[in-house]
Structure 1
Amino acid sequence: MKKVIIAGCGSAGKLVLAEIKKAGAQDYSVLCFLDDDPSKLGSEYLGIAVRGNISDAARLAKGLGADEIIIAIPSAKGRDIRRIIGECTVEKVGLKILPSLFEIIRGNVQFGQIRPVKAQDLLGRKIASFDPAEVGEIFRGKRVVVTGGAGSIGTELARTISKARPAELYLLDIDENGLYFNLVDLRRESPNAKVEAVVANIRERGRIFRIFKSIKPDIIFHAAASKQVPIVEQNVAEGVKNNIFGTKNVLDAAIANNAERFVFISTDKAVSPSSIMGSTKRVAEWICQDTLSGKPSTKIFIARFGNVFGSKGSVIPLFIKQIEEKREITVTDRKMTRYFMSIEEAVALLLRVCSFDKSGTYFFDMGEQISIYDLGVELIKLYGLIPGIDVQIVETGLRPGEKISEALITKNERQTPTSVGNIMEIISGKGCKDEAICECNKIGQRLREQGELEIAAKLEEITGRLLREGITSIHT
């Protein structure tokens, strides 16, 4: 029989205990509750006492011979979950966690749904509440294009939108293998949805225009981009072609074909950019804002957010691979912090933005920045290993273009709330009309003639000068 301790004696913890007793789970014996509320200490529920607070987890687990701790604290922050993991690692106690806050609210918790703690749980974020039916109407009967359809965000967008009964859903990407596997999954999950793959390079303006003329899309999510900071630093021209001119191609094609909505997926690295990648995304934001000044019939939304936890090419899959192979994990700087959100939450908020009536620039509430070093430490513990003994952590130094921390708005921007609590609208400072666009067009004309260093210098000169002058948008 497995002996368990329930961390949390609130409504969620009580539901877990009741479910265990109701299900007659003969393989489990609940030893006690843990709770940080001092008024609950010594109290009982269904014959099970609150024996201590969360910091007593390791001591009680050892003293009572617990095999497992179930975390039943839906309001727990990431640092609380990381603390529990830290307490339990020493005693090699197993950890489980409730599926989600919304399952608890609906009274839907079943013992079989309680699962092992995952890397994503280290965030401890309150995932944005999202009912697809709330925004599903804007996709029903519409032709939707997702660029970057083989990437992490594009894949999750497609999975969610396919369930909203669009007339047609097109995944556009240069990665044919990624598109193929996504199609297989989507056709299995949503057999009635009409989903097609389009192999295309967003840099090829003529091809994009021909595709959009044929498809006549109503809604476009532009997720395709060059995202890896160190790679773009070494391949400046490619980053410029993809992130600046690729974005312009897709946006212009959308407007030329009278699309209803266009969502550009930006990044916190576009805020006071220190990297080529961030600079290209900043200029792409400006292109979208400049297009808005022409008052097109197409609604244009710019969505700015931080790192997506577990997405392709992010630090988390790298850490996990290094830990599973018992290799040292590498961090560039011990002080580095980043904003994180889950793929599911990012997509839920993108769909919300797409449903807004007002064009504009929006950013997502990312909560607190998380230490990359601490995240590595807690991931090692999550695997039942000891940092510094089983797995070493090595600092490698900041790479070109990297920042110690990120921001979501500049000092010359201000935020205003929207009807959705997790989403804020960005109100920009003064504009400069077409100056930056004109400068970038000059870069485009010289891409074949200029070397990487010349292009990088020009791009940094444009974004740096305009931001120093307090210019945060192109349109006035």
Structure 2
Amino acid sequence: MLPRLLSLLPRGSFRSLGIVHDVLIAAIAISLSLGLAFGFRITFNNWQIWSLIVAFTALSAAMFPLFSLNSGAWRYASLLDVLSIVKAVTAINVVFLAGHFILFRGLYLPRSSLVMTWFIMIVGLGGPRLAYRLWKERGLSARFFDTSGIRVPVENVVIYGFTDNADLFIRDARRSHHGVHIVGLVDDKAKNQGRQLHGVKVLGALADLPEIARRAELGATPINQLIVAKAQVPPAELAAVVEVAAPLKIAVKRLPDISRAGDLGEAPIEVLPVSLEDLLGRREIRLDIDEVARLIEGRCIAVTGAGGSIGSELVAQIASFKPKRLVLIDAGEFNLYSIGRRMADQHPGVETVERVADVRQRARIMAIFDEWKPEVIFHAAALKHVPIVEENPLEGIETNLLGSRNVADAALGCGALAFVMVSTDKAVNPTNVMGATKRAAEAYCQALDLGQAGTRFMTVRFGNVMGSAGSVIPLFQNQLSRGGPLTVTDPDITRFFMTIPEASRLILHAAGHGIADRAAEGQIFVLDMGEPIRITELAERLIQLAGLRPYKDIRIEYTGLRKGEKLYEELFGEGETREDTGLPGLLIARSRVSDVAFLRARFEAIAEAIAAGDAPAAVALLSDVVPEFGRARLSNAALISPALPAPRPEA
């Protein structure tokens, strides 16, 4: 009943009640102390005693605000509030004693009464505050009802880590009552075993979790979640936590670093899911944005493939740098519509121009660039799926190679300041058509960058991005939702991975740095991808994040390498040298630069082969442009050619 009555009060009324409470406590304290000193009958029949009570109460009411006793909510009362109370009570008693002695020489004021007043006031002011906090944290913690009186689902939680974050989370969970019941803590440090945090006991180490979960099940409090309360957890340790929790069907989540977050307000602390990026140890690199701002702010920017995974994130990040206009180009109507709506919702102040166009349409791209005169072009449009391009080589070559040529030539034609091509690690020593087309496009951009002094042509090369369309992670998630199995081509296959926001951010930084550093002309910017990751490990971690066991609950099957697929990818090719740019996360690949006239002649021949529908001729011409691809094709042909039959022995 009391909580319902309190909930009816206006928000500011709680503070007013607190002020009234404190003044009443001051009056009661001085009255009790004087009554105990003189006897209650004498005290309350003497007007001089009443004047002391009124004077002391008035002084207290005047001095309480000086110590901010009611500036904070009682539900957050702590030892610091008790310290403020002690300071306030001491100051009030000292001032009252000094004033009374100066005016009345201490008449009608026994010294013992102020000592008693001091104790009574501390208990009277501090006790209700601490009791209210305990009532909020514990008195309702077992009920878990929402404001309409309906019981809410309860999550039985174990916290991993005896930390400041755990301390704050326990207090917040008890205060906010958002359906969390904390069963206990687990911590691997021997010194923390058996300790308690706000009454929550450390039940054991991480290795003891199966036994802890069994006991909780017997106690009718089955553990639903394990919350990692450490601020900075190494990926290997986090993976170990997930590995222990997965067989027990316990979901693993984590806390943000709330110990440094300052005032958290009254909203409950948000518990975050453990992401695949957390387990794989890919730390995002954050760079200085000044160079990017100088490149984009106030300029007309064009993005091809604007509705794709990388393109849409590039558009969103570019918009934050206040361009004059964004020209969004995509061959897919729905993709273009989606990025247009996203821009209207998130960046309504940025002018956008949406154009349905395929980069293979040379005249169409030229017309768009001639109309809007973009100053910086980010070319992200491409066919990226290796097996599909391998089965459709003409479409892959026309889009990735001739399409890139069309956009680059359009950039030259409109006098753009900079052209940035998004490339891939599959362009390094390519064994497939997709990689070869991207390497040929890289070569064209390198040649243009050195062949003229107007437009700066830059290429940014990086590996796979987590969650992009056509990547392995959405495939695994789809297979997982169907109950498996998860299919991996080879047990030893590895790939580089990066998040979409990080990849887009580093593309922008590479562009900004490339404009500022003319020494990198004709070279390729390479994003530092860290260490390659085994795809099998990726599959195992995704299964564990779902609270399941690899190879037991969900199978992993190996299907064999697909056509044109490599066992591992590289970031630097044959004849390329690696150099640092001085910026974290950004490298340079110095490689040979082809002649522009040679490339244009070959591209025209490739265009004729495509027009004639002659895929073998187009691929052969592509091999001339990218010799590494030609050698790889010959090597693969030798490996798969049928062996000649052995001669039969003569009779």
Answer whether TM exceeds 0.5 for this pair.
yes
Alignment-derived partner of residue 576 in structure 2: 413
Relative distance call for 1:72 and 1:222 in structure 2 (3 A) is farther
In structure 1, C-alpha distance between the alignment counterparts of 2:566 and 2:278, rounded to whole Å = 25
Relative distance call for 1:22 and 1:98 in structure 2 (3 A) is closer
**1:233-258: CA deviation from partner (whole Å, max 9, x where unpaired):** 01111111111111111111112212
**1:264-299: CA deviation from partner (whole Å, max 9, x where unpaired):** 100000000011000000001000000011133222
Alignment-derived partner of residue 168 in structure 2: 18
In structure 1, C-alpha distance between the alignment counterparts of 2:344 and 2:296, rounded to whole Å = 18
In structure 2, C-alpha distance between the alignment counterparts of 1:148 and 1:257, rounded to whole Å = 19
Does residue 425 (structure 1) correspond to residue 588 (structure 2)? The answer is yes
Match of residue 265, structure 1, among 415, 422, 432: 422
Instruction: Identify the structure with bigger relative contact order (alpha carbons < 8 Å, sequence gap 6+).
Output: 1
Q: Displacement of 1:59 after TM fit?
A: 5.1
In structure 2, C-alpha distance between the alignment counterparts of 1:288 and 1:54, rounded to whole Å = 54
Alignment-derived partner of residue 560 in structure 2: 397
Residues 7-406 of structure 1: pairs in structure 2 closer than 5 A: 7-8=160-161, 13-22=163-172, 24-26=175-177, 27-29=180-182, 31-34=184-187, 42=193, 57-58=209-210, 60-62=212-214, 66-73=223-230, 75-98=232-255, 112-129=269-286, 135-356=292-513, 357-358=516-517, 359=521, 360-406=523-569
Relative distance call for 1:290 and 1:431 in structure 2 (3 A) is closer
In structure 2, C-alpha distance between the alignment counterparts of 1:126 and 1:146, rounded to whole Å = 27
In structure 2, C-alpha distance between the alignment counterparts of 1:320 and 1:406, rounded to whole Å = 23
Aligned length: 461
In structure 2, C-alpha distance between the alignment counterparts of 1:105 and 1:294, rounded to whole Å = 53
Relative distance call for 1:8 and 1:197 in structure 2 (3 A) is farther
Relative distance call for 1:420 and 1:46 in structure 2 (3 A) is farther
In structure 1, C-alpha distance between the alignment counterparts of 2:339 and 2:230, rounded to whole Å = 35
In structure 2, C-alpha distance between the alignment counterparts of 1:376 and 1:446, rounded to whole Å = 41
Contact 2:384–2:434 at 8 Å: present in 1 too?
Answer: yes
| Secondary structure of the structure 1 residue equivalent to 2:313 | helix
Contact 1:75–1:126 at 8 Å: present in 2 too?
Answer: no
Q: Displacement of 1:19 after TM fit?
A: 4.4
In structure 2, C-alpha distance between the alignment counterparts of 1:351 and 1:41, rounded to whole Å = 47
In structure 1, C-alpha distance between the alignment counterparts of 2:428 and 2:365, rounded to whole Å = 28
Relative distance call for 1:55 and 1:408 in structure 2 (3 A) is farther
| Secondary structure of the structure 2 residue equivalent to 1:412 | coil
Match of residue 605, structure 2, among 427, 430, 442: 442
| Secondary structure of the structure 1 residue equivalent to 2:550 | coil
In structure 1, C-alpha distance between the alignment counterparts of 2:282 and 2:506, rounded to whole Å = 14
Relative distance call for 1:409 and 1:52 in structure 2 (3 A) is farther
In structure 2, C-alpha distance between the alignment counterparts of 1:7 and 1:131, rounded to whole Å = 35
> Which residue identity lines up with residue 452 of structure 1 in the other structure?
A
Any gaps of 5 or more consecutive residues in structure 1?
A: 469-476
Relative distance call for 1:79 and 1:403 in structure 2 (3 A) is farther
> Which residue identity lines up with residue 316 of structure 2 in the other structure?
R
**1:87-111: CA deviation from partner (whole Å, max 9, x where unpaired):** 1111111211245x7x887668885
In structure 2, C-alpha distance between the alignment counterparts of 1:361 and 1:57, rounded to whole Å = 50
Report which of the two has the higher share of strand: 1
| Secondary structure of the structure 1 residue equivalent to 2:575 | coil
In structure 2, C-alpha distance between the alignment counterparts of 1:122 and 1:70, rounded to whole Å = 15
Relative distance call for 1:440 and 1:83 in structure 2 (3 A) is farther
Larger CA deviation: 193-202 vs 57-66: 57-66
| Secondary structure of the structure 1 residue equivalent to 2:502 | helix
> Which residue identity lines up with residue 184 of structure 2 in the other structure?
L
Contact 1:307–1:339 at 8 Å: present in 2 too?
Answer: yes
Contact 2:444–2:594 at 8 Å: present in 1 too?
Answer: no
Relative distance call for 1:44 and 1:389 in structure 2 (3 A) is closer
In structure 1, C-alpha distance between the alignment counterparts of 2:614 and 2:578, rounded to whole Å = 39
Contact 2:289–2:509 at 8 Å: present in 1 too?
Answer: no
Report which of the two has the higher share of helix: 2
Relative distance call for 1:78 and 1:241 in structure 2 (3 A) is farther
Relative distance call for 1:44 and 1:285 in structure 2 (3 A) is farther
Relative distance call for 1:134 and 1:284 in structure 2 (3 A) is closer
Contact 2:160–2:229 at 8 Å: present in 1 too?
Answer: yes
Q: Displacement of 1:335 after TM fit?
A: 1.3
Relative distance call for 1:460 and 1:362 in structure 2 (3 A) is same
Q: Displacement of 1:446 after TM fit?
A: 2.6
Relative distance call for 1:465 and 1:73 in structure 2 (3 A) is same
State, as a whole percentage, how many aligned pairs show the same letter.
35
In structure 2, C-alpha distance between the alignment counterparts of 1:192 and 1:78, rounded to whole Å = 40
Task: State the TM-score, normalized to the length of structure 1.
Answer: 0.87
Coordinate RMSD, CA, aligned: 2.9
Larger CA deviation: 112-121 vs 301-310: 112-121
Relative distance call for 1:283 and 1:114 in structure 2 (3 A) is same
> Which residue identity lines up with residue 376 of structure 2 in the other structure?
I
Contact 2:159–2:182 at 8 Å: present in 1 too?
Answer: no
In structure 1, C-alpha distance between the alignment counterparts of 2:432 and 2:357, rounded to whole Å = 27
Tell which structure's C-alpha radius of gyration is larger.
2
Alignment-derived partner of residue 69 in structure 2: none
> Which residue identity lines up with residue 175 of structure 1 in the other structure?
G
Contact 1:57–1:84 at 8 Å: present in 2 too?
Answer: no
| Secondary structure of the structure 1 residue equivalent to 2:626 | helix
Larger CA deviation: 367-376 vs 306-315: 367-376
